[in-house]
Structure 1
Amino acid sequence: MELLPVETLKTALIAGHLLGLAFGVGGALTLDIIAFRYFYLDRITPEKLVLFHFIARLVTVGLVILWITGLAFLWLYWQHQPELLGNPKVWAKVTIVVVLTVNGYFLHHKVFPILDRNLGRYLFYRVNVDEKAMMFTFSSISIISWGFPLVLGIARSLNFTTGVENILAFYFLMLASTCFVMLIIFKLFLEPFKRFVIDRPARQRIAPP
């Protein structure tokens, strides 16, 4: 005897999956906004850092929900609709969630300690080139990897029509392109803007008469 009808269970899993995506996509975007507006253009304060870590924990919760609901979907397919396990989109999503998990580990153990280290200072205070590249790379992976499964879920035309290698090739191309564009924007626009619009007037205000 089944505890729940298959369709009821599937509906509950879809709701949970969407909740996990909402936590992840919304949280990742919010973290980037906080990092730019309050850590890059301003000094890192204890209050803002606490908020940042709280939202980061929500993103982690979203990732855990994705794993739980995703594995439950695989079990459901295996038990009731094994033909769906042949859908390349399913395994592309699994791969992307693995990437998200690994990326989350490095964010928490490599990037977030830099924020804690620079408490009371600007984001890139005494941050070397390798650390900046690492921060941009992991941030790009986070944004694209949270948004991509959402796009895959909407793109039903890809079901059983596009190979997993093609989906992942496009995914990794988007990762590389996003990281490159972010670095270009930072070097050509954000650094000059901060140097001449924010830092220079601030130095002039505190300069002795």
Structure 2
Amino acid sequence: MEFEFTRMGLVYAHLIACCAAIGLILMSDIAMVRQLISGDPRERMDPHHLQELQNTVAMALAALWATGVAIVALDTSFKGWEYFANPKLQAKITVVCLLTLNGVLLHHRVLPLMMKAGSLLNLSFSQRSFAVFAGAVSGVSWFYAALLGVGRPLNWKYSLPQILAAYPALIAGSFVGLMLLLAWAQYRASGDQLAFEGTRFVGAH
């Protein structure tokens, strides 16, 4: 009984950390997409907001690791080392490790670029591609980890490659979709700028 309540508490904390991070990332991504579609795509992002978002997600990731390791240690103490042979657990560990490495890149490479440029459209193509790819990996990884966390039907039924098959496809799809959206936003911003310059020219004459 004590084991069950301890595990339930850890799983609950694990779930809260995951939900908090996903909620923040989703709200931030929706705001960015709305700005690219209907707002001024070159409007500078609030650097304070970017820093707060990064700090909160980093804390959520740390909590995810702490509670996740505790859950795995608790389960291993009762089920033995064969517990790690579960492909679903292997997949989740793989995704969370990639999420963590990607988070380090976001913190040390992408965030400084964004705080300096203020907008994705102000970055060079290579910098923009890197930032979008890192963002795609982050978003997909959080949702994929959450799916694996609740995916009890996946336990012992599928191999590791089968469970992770959709992961790179989702990252690629997200990356391509965001790059196309940015290309359209840049085209729209260029058109608005030309129209503005034309209005100024006509007004001057």
TM-score (norm 2): 0.85
Check conservation: 1:31, 1:52, Cα contact below 8 A.
Answer: no
RMSD of the TM alignment (CA)?
Answer: 2.4
Check conservation: 2:99, 2:137, Cα contact below 8 A.
Answer: yes
Deviates more, 1:108-117 or 1:93-102: 108-117
Q: How far is the alpha carbon of 1:145 from its aligned partner?
A: 0.2
| Residue 44 (structure 2) aligns with | 44
1:157 to 153, 156, 175: 153
Per the alignment, do residues 102 and 192 of structure 1 end up closer, same or farther by CA in structure 2, a change over 3 Å counting? same
1:30 to 1, 15, 27: 27
2:185 to 179, 187, 190: 190
| Residue 129 (structure 1) aligns with | 125
* More helix, by proportion: 2
1:178 to 174, 178, 181: 174
Check conservation: 2:42, 2:189, Cα contact below 8 A.
Answer: no
Per the alignment, do residues 124 and 78 of structure 1 end up closer, same or farther by CA in structure 2, a change over 3 Å counting? same
Check conservation: 2:88, 2:154, Cα contact below 8 A.
Answer: yes
| Residue 85 (structure 1) aligns with | 84
TM-score (norm 1): 0.83
Give the total of aligned pairs: 199
Distance 1:81 1:40 in 2: 55
Q: How far is the alpha carbon of 1:181 from its aligned partner?
A: 2.5
Check conservation: 1:111, 1:135, Cα contact below 8 A.
Answer: yes
> Mind listing any 5+ residue stretches in structure 2 that lack a counterpart?
none
Q: How far is the alpha carbon of 1:34 from its aligned partner?
A: 4.5
Check conservation: 2:21, 2:57, Cα contact below 8 A.
Answer: yes
Q: How far is the alpha carbon of 1:31 from its aligned partner?
A: 3.0
Check conservation: 1:27, 1:56, Cα contact below 8 A.
Answer: no
Percent identical among aligned pairs is 24
Distance 1:194 1:116 in 2: 20
Secondary structure of the residue aligned to 2:165 is: helix
> Mind listing any 5+ residue stretches in structure 1 that lack a counterpart?
none
| Residue 74 (structure 1) aligns with | 72
Q: How far is the alpha carbon of 1:158 from its aligned partner?
A: 1.1
Secondary structure of the residue aligned to 2:105 is: helix
Distance 2:112 2:88 in 1: 35
Deviates more, 1:14-23 or 1:171-180: 171-180
Q: How far is the alpha carbon of 1:183 from its aligned partner?
A: 1.9
Per the alignment, do residues 174 and 112 of structure 1 end up closer, same or farther by CA in structure 2, a change over 3 Å counting? same
Distance 2:148 2:5 in 1: 23
Distance 1:21 1:42 in 2: 31
Check conservation: 1:23, 1:61, Cα contact below 8 A.
Answer: no
Per the alignment, do residues 124 and 186 of structure 1 end up closer, same or farther by CA in structure 2, a change over 3 Å counting? closer
Q: How far is the alpha carbon of 1:123 from its aligned partner?
A: 3.5
